[in-house]
């Protein structure tokens, strides 16, 4: 279970450097329906590119009838929609795997929910006229670097069917303001329900291609591998997960929790990108009881849950676990994979009640 004392040591300077660049959402921020932008998690593989909304262009090309170049103003003039979306990094929970992949060492905080404004991608695909024979759309970011000895632009692809879904958008605003540089200014793709890697930031190109895309971030990274010589299945949609706001007060620096005895309402959020959240249960020392569910913040966003607990003096282990509408439930043990992907194991919190 997610017990920090059991996490393998030592952590490396490479991981420390990543953890500072790509910080998570403090779990007390689960209290907000919409995560304040500065508290939303971040994941940036390379450097934030230097872009300006006034001269940035989105190039739409490849297997299309009408190749085009669109400014952000052109996209702002198209039909707009604003929807709350919960994003989670596919590597969330990675640092709780043993051994762990040497990359961004997420514990549980690679999450956030924002209200995103943009235009449905389907309108742009319609305007460009995606030609018959197109298998996928490839989305290219303006950022560039080296990963796994391969130099590349950050790129991901979606099938035409996925790309045409009404919730898939080209977004230029987050929480009612232009995108911040770290979140993809001036334009990003947003693929609600998918782990974050699909929502390409600093979007510069969309290309219609006739063969499945084989770029690094598609064919090598984001795979469920058990060993290096298998390609593994692709990582796609967000698995069911619930998290709890750690109750009481923390110790600095190890964050062990201390709580006064008596009634306390435990609170958190739950979300799922493959179906919907059906049930959340709270475990007190291994005894599971149903939590009360609040309404979802949106069709693609988390919902709150709460549970009234009469805290008794002593040491306790708190846990929460969600079940989705297809009956998938969070696992009590890590399901290890080489890249540390999609670890939705049950969160546990050790607490001392006085
Ligand atoms: N161009 C580009 N897009 C990107 C990334 C990136 O490094 N470059 N990181 C991806 C990953 S792995 C995640 S989890 C999300 C994070 O989005 P956020 O930083 O806005 O939370 O962006 C995705 N889009
Ligand atoms: Mo990610």
Distance in Å, CA 237 to ligand 1 centroid: 15
Atom of ligand 1 nearest to the CA of 88: 14
Of 40, 93, 196, best ligand 1 pocket probe by most atoms within 8 Å of the beta carbon: 196
- Nearest 5°: the CA angle 15, 20, 23 is 105
What kind and span of H or E run contains 348?
strand 347-353
Q: pLDDT digits over 190-225, tens only?
A: 999 999 999 999 999 999 999 999 999 999 999 999
pLDDT-derived band of residue 112, with 50, 70 and 90 as boundaries? very high
* pLDDT for residue 299 is more than 70: yes
Mean pLDDT of 295-314: 98
Separation in Å, CA 225 to CA 97, 113, 199, 232: 14, 29, 22, 5
Mean pLDDT of 63-92: 98
Domains of the chain: 241-353 (2.60.40.650)
- Sign of the Cα torsion 274, 269, 1, 7 reads positive
Residues with CB under 6 A from ligand 1: 40-45, 87, 89, 141, 143, 154, 183, 196-197, 199-202
Both tokens assigned to 95: 């640092």
pLDDT-derived band of residue 345, with 50, 70 and 90 as boundaries? very high
Distance in Å, CA 89 to ligand 2 centroid: 4
Ligand closest to CA 22: 1
Q: Is the peptide bond before 253 cis (omega within 30 degrees of 0)?
A: yes
Atom of ligand 1 nearest to the CA of 41: 21
Give pLDDT, residue 1.
Answer: 40
Whole-angstrom distance, CA of residue 133 vs CA of residue 8 = 48
């Amino acid at each position: 279970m997610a017990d920090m004392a059991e996490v393998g040591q030592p952590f490396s300077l490479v991981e420390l450097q990543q953890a500072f660049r790509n910080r998570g959402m403090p779990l007390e921020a689960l209290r907000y329906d919409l995560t304040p932008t500065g508290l939303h998690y971040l994941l940036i593989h390379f450097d934030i590119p230097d872009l300006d909304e006034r001269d940035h262009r989105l190039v739409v090309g490849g297997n299309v009838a009408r190749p085009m170049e669109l400014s952000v103003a052109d996209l702002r003039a198209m039909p707009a929609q604003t929807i709350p979306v919960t994003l989670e990094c596919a590597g969330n929970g990675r640092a709780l795997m043993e051994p762990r992949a040497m990359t961004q060492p997420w514990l549980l905080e690679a999450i956030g929910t924002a209200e995103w404004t943009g235009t449905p991608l389907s309108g742009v695909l319609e305007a460009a006229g995606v030609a018959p024979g197109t298998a996928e759309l490839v989305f290219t970011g303006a950022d560039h670097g080296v990963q796994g000895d391969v130099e590349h632009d950050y790129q991901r692809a979606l099938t035409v069917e996925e790309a045409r879904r009404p919730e898939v958008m080209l977004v230029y605003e987050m929480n009612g303001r232009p995108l911040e540089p770290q979140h993809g200014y001036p334009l990003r793709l947003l693929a609600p329900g998918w782990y974050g890697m699909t929502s390409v930031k600093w979007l510069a190109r969309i290309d219609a291609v006739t063969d499945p895309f084989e770029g690094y971030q598609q064919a090598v990274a984001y795979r469920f591998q058990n060993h290096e010589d298998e390609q593994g299945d692709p990582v796609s949609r967000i698995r069911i997960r619930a998290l709890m706001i750690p109750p009481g007060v923390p110790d600095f620096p190890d964050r062990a929790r201390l709580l006064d005895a008596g009634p306390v309402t435990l609170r958190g959020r739950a979300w799922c990108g493959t179906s919907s959240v059906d049930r959340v249960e709270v475990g007190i020392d291994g005894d599971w009881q149903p939590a009360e569910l609040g309404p979802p913040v949106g069709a693609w966003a988390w919902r709150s849950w709460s549970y009234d607990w009469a805290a008794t003096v002593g040491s306790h282990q708190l846990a929460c676990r969600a079940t989705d509408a297809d009956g998938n439930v969070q696992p009590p043990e890590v399901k290890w994979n080489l890249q540390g992907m999609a670890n939705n194991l049950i969160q546990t919190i050790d607490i001392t009640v006085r």
